Amino acid sequence: DGGITQSPKYLFRKEGQNVTLSCEQNLNHDAMYWYRQDPGQGLRLIYYSQIVNDFQKGDIAEGYSVSREKKESFPLTVTSAQKNPTAFYLCASRRGGQSYEQYFGPGTRLTVT
């Protein structure tokens, strides 16, 4: 059963703690993406990676970090430097080349209090 998995679905943290969101794909896709979605808004790009061991900042990278050590995995760390981390986080992947569609995971809802 191919797809993208994100875990956990709900995550609660205290302010000042770093937290890592998991994203795994078994689609053999080259590119992976992290987006943030706030209520009633569209998706904003945090980081993306086109190949293993390489990634680029998106529009709102401040306070976040990523790694891409394996093709299948693209974890996102929300650091204590992120001013307003409570949001819905979505991971996506794309095959690459002339294939432009992105495939999304189910999302992780992070609440920081």
> Using CB under 8 A as the criterion, which residues of the chain lie in contact with other proteins when the complex forms?
4, 6, 31, 33, 35, 40-45, 48, 50, 58-59, 88, 90, 92, 94, 100-107, 109
Minimum CB distance to other proteins, residue 84 (Å)? 18
Between 20 and 41, name the residue whose CB sits nearer to other proteins: 41
Minimum CB distance to other proteins, residue 58 (Å)? 7
Minimum CB distance to other proteins, residue 46 (Å)? 11
Between 50 and 67, name the residue whose CB sits nearer to other proteins: 50
Beta strands 76-78 and 31-37, pairing class: unpaired
CB 72, CB 25: distance < 8 Å: yes
Place of tokens 């590119």: 31
Between 51 and 81, name the residue whose CB sits nearer to other proteins: 51
Return the beta strands (E) in the chain as ranges.
4-7, 10-13, 19-25, 31-37, 43-51, 54-57, 64-66, 76-78, 87-94, 103-104, 108-112
